[in-house]
Amino acid sequence: MEISPSKLNDWMNKMDPSLLQIIDCREPDEWEICRIEGSKLIPLSTFAESINQFKDSKSITFVIYCHHGIRSLHATHHMKSKGFQNTYSLSGGIEKWSCDIDPTIPRY
């Protein structure tokens, strides 16, 4: 259910971008501070309604992240319950991404 920052980085470098959707489930004020390049903001507060936009994209791999990985686990569980099997939460969130992969991303 979880994916490490290094594995996500590998996927981002090797997978066809049209087959990988990275979703940031933090709130807009957090998004303004920092984000993973290419991610789409879908706040957890609107997540349940918003994932309907992907109903015809169940073959895509989804990786969801938040600040530390707790909210993204909730979002991942929700997507899996709706039939999105290739869905993962970024372990440690954007905080761990900043530490392990991209130190230019501000930590807060």
Per-residue tokens: 3: 């994916």
Q: Which of 25, 34, 66, 99 is labelled catalytic?
A: 66
Indicate if 25 belongs to the active site: no
Q: Edge-to-edge strands of the sheet including 20-24?
A: 2-3, 87-90, 61-65, 20-24, 40-41
Which residues are catalytic, by number? 66
